[in-house]
Amino acid sequence: MPDWLQRYKEKIKTPSQAVSTIRRGDKVFIGSGAAEPQTLVKSLIESAGRLADTRIMHIMTLGVAPYTEEKFTDQFRHNAFFIGANTRKAVAEGRADYTPVFLSEIPALFRTGQAPIDVALIQVSLPDRHGFCSYGVSTDVVKSASESAVKVIAEINPQMPRALGDCFINMDDIDIAVPVNEPLLCAKRDRADDVARRIGKNIADLIEDGSTMQMGIGTIPDSVLYNLTDKKDLGVHTEMFSDGLMELAQKGIINNSKKSIHQGKTVASFCMGSKELYEFVDDNPAIEFHPTEYTNDPFIVAQNDKMVAINSAIEVDLTGQVCADSLGSMFYSGIGGQVDFVRGSARSKGGKPIIAMPATAKDDAISRISVRLQEGAGVVTTRGDVHYVVTEYGAAYLHGKNIRERAMALINIAHPKFRAELLKGAKKLNYVYADQKPTPETTVYPEEFETTMVEKDGTKLLVRPIEPTDEEMLSDMFYDLSDQTIINRFFSMLKSMPHRRLQEFCVIDYEDEMSLVVLHGKRPKQKMVGVGSYHMNPSTKRAEIAFLVADDWQGRGIGTYLMKELVKIARAKRIRGLTAEVLRDNVAMIALMHKAGVTPRSSIVNGSYLFTMDLQD
C-alpha cells in the first residue's frame, strides 16, 4: 500500500466531523460553479447554531446558498467576488457583500493574505495512483484558494471528472477528506430566441478561420457557435468551457491547430453544463484546465493570435462605456473576466474584443444603448477599452473613433424605435451634428441584400446597403475621385462634399431609396470603392439610378455587378422601371445601361442620354 493511501485513510471524516473543525469567526472559501461541495455546505448550515460571524467567500456557485438567508445573519456573512442568482437578493438587501475585482486578480488576494482563508471547502476527483486529485470542473480560483488556506476540507467524489492540466492537488495538501458519491450540479441550457440568433450571426461574421475564442454560457454564445459550422481550425482559450464548445470540438471545427500557444489544446479554467460535458472533459488530453491567474492574464491571452473575446453587457452609453455588473445602483453580477479578455484580445495580433447584448430589455420597453448610463451604474469596460459592440441590429466598431462617430455607430445598432430619442439626446450633448438626419422608426437594415463580389483575380468585395455611419468612407472616396469622374456622376465639378450633402446619400429608408456600397478590406480598415443607388418617385413607381466607382477600380466589373443587384432589389420592391441620365461622352456608363439584363430605351434630353428600362411585365 502506498504511503499516501494510508495517510488518506487517516484523513477521512464524515461531513459533520469535517465541518465541526470550523470555528466562530473563520473565513471560509467555497468551491466554484458545478464543483460546489454540496454535502459540506449542507453540513455547514446544519452546524449554524454553534457558529458566529463566519465569513463565506466565493465566485459564482450553481447550488443553493442558504447561508445568505436572513435567519442566519448572525452566523454567516457572504462576500461575493461574482454575484450569482443564489446570492443576488442578499447582496441587494445588504445582507451580503460584493467585491468588484478582475477575475485574474482574485488569486493574488488569497496568496498575499489580503483576503485570508482559514478553511477551503472544495470538491475534487478520486486520487490517482500517485495520490493526486484533480480539481475537475473548476480549477479557476479554487486552486489558489486551496493553496492559500490554512485548512483544506475536500469532498472526494468519484463522479468528479479527472480533468488534466495545471489542476491537481496532492492528498498530502488536503487536511480532511470527505468521501461522497453524488452527481455534479448541471447548468440548464436555454433555447435561443430570434434576438439571440441574430446577435450570434452578427458575431460569427466577425470570426475568421484560425481564430482562438473566449466566451461564456447562454443563448448568445450558443448562437455564435451555431453559426460557426462553416469555419475551420478554431481554437479555445477561455475561462469557461461549455456544451456548445464541446459540440464544435466533436465536429472538428475546434481543433486548436492554429493556436500560437498551447497548440492542439483547448485551455479553460472551469466548465459548467451537462453531464455529457463533464464526461467529455474526463481524462481528455485535448483539454487543459489552468487556474484563473493564468487563463485570464491579459499578457497570456494576448499571446493567442486572432484572439476573439465575446462578453456580455447590461448597458452601453453613446460614448462606449460598458456597464456589465449592475442595474443602475443594484449590483447584479460582477466584473468577472470581461476586462481581462477585452484587454488581452485587444493586444492580440488580429484580435477582436466584442461586447454583445440585445438592443432592448423588458420586452422592448427599454433601450440597452443609452445616452448616459443609469444613475449608479458602474463602468466595467471603459470607453478607451471598447472595440466592437454587437446587437441584433449589427456591429459597431468604436476603437479609435471620436465621440460623434461612436454615437452614430451605436445609434445605428439600437432598436429602431429608440434611435430618434437617442439622436435627440446626442444632439443635446453636442455629440453629433446639430442637423443630423434621423432614420425613420420603421427603417430596418436589409441584411438580405448583402452579397460578396469576387473579382477575376480572386479579390473579394463586400457589397451591402449603405448605412448612416458610412459618411466618412464616402467622403474619403469622393475626395480621391478625378475631376472627370465627378463630372460624369454629378454633371458638374463639385469641389466639396460636406456633411449636409453626405447624409442625404447615407440616411435612407431602404424602400423608396436604396444604395449599395462596395467595400474592400476588413474592418476597421475598409475602403469604399463603389456606390450604386436608386431613388423612386412614389407617384410613378419608377426610380432614377446612378453609379460612382473609384478611379482605380473602374473597368473591373463593379458597375455591372451593382446594376444587376439593384435590378434584383427593384423588382423585389415592385418598382415599375428604372431611368438614368448619362452624359453623351460617358462611354462606360452608356455601355453599363446595356448590361442590366433589361433592354433599355434611350432618348436625348438637354444634350444627355435618358435611358429607360421597364422591370415589371
Q: In this structure, are 198 and 162 located in the same domain? A: no
Q: How many domains does the chain have?
A: 3
Query: Cell 474592418 appears where?
Result: 523
d(CA 200, CA 224): 4
Q: In this structure, are 274 and 127 located in the same domain? A: no
Let me know if residue 434 belongs to a domain. Answer: no
Q: In this structure, are 414 and 455 located in the same domain? A: no
- Nearest CA-CA partner of 62 in 141, 120, 138, 136: 138
In tens, the pLDDT along 150-172 reads: 999 999 999 999 999 999 999 99
Q: What is the mean pLDDT of residues 322-329?
A: 96
Let me know if residue 184 belongs to a domain. Answer: no
Structural domain including 95 reads: 3-179
Q: What share of the chain is helix, strand, coil (3-state, %, to 5)?
A: 30, 25, 45
Buried/exposed code over 196-223 (b: 16+ C-beta within 10 A; e: otherwise): bbbbbbbbbebbeebbbbbbbbbbbbbb
Q: In this structure, are 580 and 475 located in the same domain? A: yes
Residue 4 clears pLDDT 80, i.e. is over it: no
- Nearest CA-CA partner of 482 in 594, 588, 593, 591: 588
Spot the catalytic one: 36, 155, 239, 471. 239
pLDDT, residue 8, reads: 83
Q: How far is CA 350 from CA 116, 230, 533, in A?
A: 40, 20, 34
Q: In this structure, are 417 and 459 located in the same domain? A: no
Let me know if residue 292 belongs to a domain. Answer: yes
Q: In this structure, are 219 and 352 located in the same domain? A: yes
Confidence of residue 426 (pLDDT cuts 50, 70, 90): very high
Q: In this structure, are 172 and 203 located in the same domain? A: no
Query: Strands 527-537, 542-549: parallel, antiparallel or unpaired by DSSP?
Result: antiparallel
Let me know if residue 500 belongs to a domain. Answer: yes
Q: What is the mean pLDDT of residues 553-565?
A: 95
Q: What is the mean pLDDT of residues 227-234?
A: 96
Q: Which of 179, 214, 244 is the last residue of a domain?
A: 179
pLDDT, residue 77, reads: 97
Residue 52 clears pLDDT 80, i.e. is over it: yes
C-alpha cell of residue 318: 453613446
Could you confirm whether 239 is annotated as catalytic? yes
CATH number, position 225: 3.40.1080.20
Let me know if residue 187 belongs to a domain. Answer: no
CATH number, position 61: 3.40.1080.10
Instruction: Quote the mean pLDDT of the chain.
Output: 95
Let me know if residue 441 belongs to a domain. Answer: no
Q: Which of 144, 179, 214 is the last residue of a domain?
A: 179
SS3 state of residue 446: coil
Q: In this structure, are 74 and 199 located in the same domain? A: no
Q: In this structure, are 174 and 43 located in the same domain? A: yes
Confidence of residue 6 (pLDDT cuts 50, 70, 90): confident
Q: Which of 179, 209, 244 is the last residue of a domain?
A: 179
Let me know if residue 318 belongs to a domain. Answer: yes
506: left (phi over 0), alpha (psi -120 to 50) or beta: alpha
Q: In this structure, are 524 and 403 located in the same domain? A: no
- Distant-in-sequence contacts of 218-221, Cβ < 8 A, 24+ apart: 218/190, 218/312, 219/190, 219/191, 219/192, 219/193, 220/192, 220/196, 220/310, 220/312, 220/356, 221/310
Helix (H) or strand (E) holding 369: strand 369-370
In tens, the pLDDT along 253-295 reads: 999 999 999 999 999 999 999 999 999 999 999 999 999 999 9
Q: In this structure, are 230 and 369 located in the same domain? A: yes
C-alpha cell of residue 463: 457589397
Q: In this structure, are 468 and 404 located in the same domain? A: no
Query: Cell 446587437 appears where?
Result: 391
Task: Compute the C-alpha angle 306/309/313, nearest 5°.
Answer: 155
C-alpha cell of residue 589: 456608363
Let me know if residue 433 belongs to a domain. Answer: no
d(CA 324, CA 342): 13
pLDDT, residue 3, reads: 75
d(CA 391, CA 360): 9
3-class secondary structure per residue, 497-557: CCHHHHHHHHCCCCCCEEEEEEEECCCCCCEEEEEEEEEEECCCCEEEEEEEECHHHCCCC
Query: Strands 315-317, 322-323: parallel, antiparallel or unpaired by DSSP?
Result: antiparallel
CATH number, position 480: 3.40.630.30
